[in-house]
Amino acid sequence: MKVLVTGGCGFIGSNFIRYFLKFHPDDSVINVDKLTYAGNLENLSELSHSPLYQFIKGDITDAPRVQDLVSMGVDAVINFAAESHVDRSIEDPSAFVKTNVFGTFVLLEAVRKFSPKQEIRFLQVSTDEVYGSLGETGAFTEQTPLAPNSPYSASKTAADMMVRAYHRTYGLPALITRCSNNFGPYQFPEKLIPLMISNAIEAQDLPIYGDGMHIRDWIYVEDHCCALDAVLRHGREGEVYNIGGGSEMPNLSVAKAILDRLGRPHSLLRFVTDRPGHDRRYAIDFSKIERELGWKPSVSFEEGIALTVDWYLAHREWWKKIKTGEYLTYYDRMYKNRPLPPPCREEKAGVE
């Protein structure tokens, strides 16, 4: 199988390419990435001389370039390319609409153009954030109505609907996956877990939005990659598959677990003003992919966070270069100048 991966220099994309080539040594990957702030060639440096891996710098909104790539005899397209940070989408939604919506359209059009000549399977890698926010109970299923609450999740919802329409209208062999929050090696340090880890290593404050009781379902990135591989090869065309880790946890508990792993005091926790439209709880029902494809997560949160903390300890140079560059300016703007919420929030959250 020859696969075109978009956004393969990002966090999940690079982990997937590494996983894919490890477990399918006879397959090959073309990786196209624009190399925005979160795309890093170092994430796949060990593959730079592999005959099974080819990197091409490119933008998925560039239709002629995308058509050229799809024409290279690929059997599948896996779309990881996306602007993905909610805070950035609130600050400037335009980039999210361009990449996430228009970029997906360009990819679909290219696949449709070549589909009469060869069947190209299209896998859209989406997010559970398209479902909106849950109450205290229940979990998102594939039938949950889409109700995005941020410009980021709205752009991913629009892309999902475009993929669905191309399958229904043109018969494109397309699939959609919606995954819960990933964590693991090579995650850009603006996201919660790598931010908490890198700050804790350096004994800096750990910024926690609101009261810290926003609940997410966490999945170790290699488990996600395994699920994507299963859907790519065996998923039913036109279907949506939810992928979850079965590890619901408030953000505050995540931060405390990281501090405990590193032997840092909980006094480093710092509550900051909540962001607009912050979904309170996500939880994923992944029974469909377990039932149809036999997949389920194999790495617990405790195991995954230990592996992740150890990786960031061993790769300080990787994330320090990021945090002392463009990211530091963004971090300062988003967190350092935000006022603390009233003390009652700290007491409610049980900060030590």
Q: Which residues are catalytic?
A: 128-129, 152
Cβ atoms of 283 and 139 closer than 8 Å: yes
Q: Report DSSP letters for 126-154, one per residue.
A: EEGGGG----SS--B-TTSPP---SHHHH
Strands 240-243 and 174-179: parallel
By three-state DSSP, how is residue 264 classified? coil
With residue 255 as reference, give the H or E element that holds it.
Answer: helix 251-262
Cβ atoms of 127 and 178 closer than 8 Å: yes
Strand arrangement of the beta sheet that strand 2-6 belongs to? 53-57, 28-33, 2-6, 76-79, 121-127, 174-179, 240-243
Q: What span, in angstroms and rounded, lies between the C-alpha atoms of 242 and 167?
A: 18
306 φ/ψ sector (left φ>0, alpha ψ -120 to 50, else beta): alpha
Q: What span, in angstroms and rounded, lies between the C-alpha atoms of 318 and 331?
A: 17
Residue 295 phi/psi, 5-degree rounding, is -95, 145
Cβ atoms of 80 and 20 closer than 8 Å: no
Q: What span, in angstroms and rounded, lies between the C-alpha atoms of 123 and 241?
A: 11
By three-state DSSP, how is residue 279 classified? coil
Query: Tokens at residue 176, please?
Result: 């959609």
